[in-house]
Amino acid sequence: MSHAASPSRLLSRRRGARRSGSHRRRWLAGLRSACLCAWLLFAGVAAADPVEALQVVQQLENDHGSMYQRMQVAYDAHRRGDDARARLALRDVAAYAMRLSSGLADLRAANQDTLDRGLYRDRVALERALADTGLAEQRLDQLIESLLAAIQYLDPTSFYVISSDAAAFDEPFLAALGSTRQS
């Protein structure tokens, strides 16, 4: 047997080949990880777009309409003396109000990002949208408090307070949606 063909020499070459293959696999896995991280970073930046704010506006409009439909059900049930149904409808109204609260936070974030990145057509409208969104969030908090109190203590004045708080919320809410569309 020659020295070049010895079994120990063949084993040593195979181990070296495995090591270099393992090294290549690790290097490729690292490259894939780096590419994935870069893609995720870019995807986060690409999502900051005025179109995102308009999608949030559409969802807010849908939730707002649904909230008022359920509010009408609560009013009608209360007028008929069906307090159990009125409370159930008010719980639904409160759930939609909380969805609106979350949506307004998303809208504020999207509008702020649009402003920060300079992707607007009308800066004044966008700044007005941010201010109106902040006011709408405050007034929505008042409405949610009124709804939660009305669910617990349903009386004739509850619906007056809810109507008053809803009207106070609607003005800045609708202004924020309109200003967002203009920007």
* Residues 63-104 pLDDT 10s: 999 999 999 999 999 999 999 999 999 999 999 999 999 999
Q: Record the pTM.
A: 0.71
Write the CB contacts of 120 (distance below 8 Å, at least 6 apart in sequence): 50, 114, 126, 183
Which residues span the domain enclosing 73? 27-170
| More confident call, 156 vs 57 | 57
Q: How many domains does the chain have?
A: 1
For residue 183, being part of any structural domain is answered with no
For residue 21, being part of any structural domain is answered with no
pLDDT attached to residue 98: 96
pLDDT at 4 over 80: no
* Residues 27-52 pLDDT 10s: 445 545 544 444 444 444 434 467 88
pLDDT attached to residue 19: 53
Give 49's Cβ-side CA count (13 Å radius).
9
pLDDT attached to residue 33: 52
pLDDT attached to residue 50: 72
For residue 156, being part of any structural domain is answered with yes
For residue 16, being part of any structural domain is answered with no
* Residues 129-173 pLDDT 10s: 999 999 999 999 999 999 999 999 888 799 999 999 999 999 999
For residue 9, being part of any structural domain is answered with no
pLDDT attached to residue 39: 46
For residue 18, being part of any structural domain is answered with no
pLDDT attached to residue 51: 82
For residue 51, being part of any structural domain is answered with yes
What is each CA distance from 154 to 3, 85, 147, 162, in whole angstroms?
Answer: 98, 11, 10, 11
For residue 10, being part of any structural domain is answered with no
Lookup: tokens for 102: 């979350």
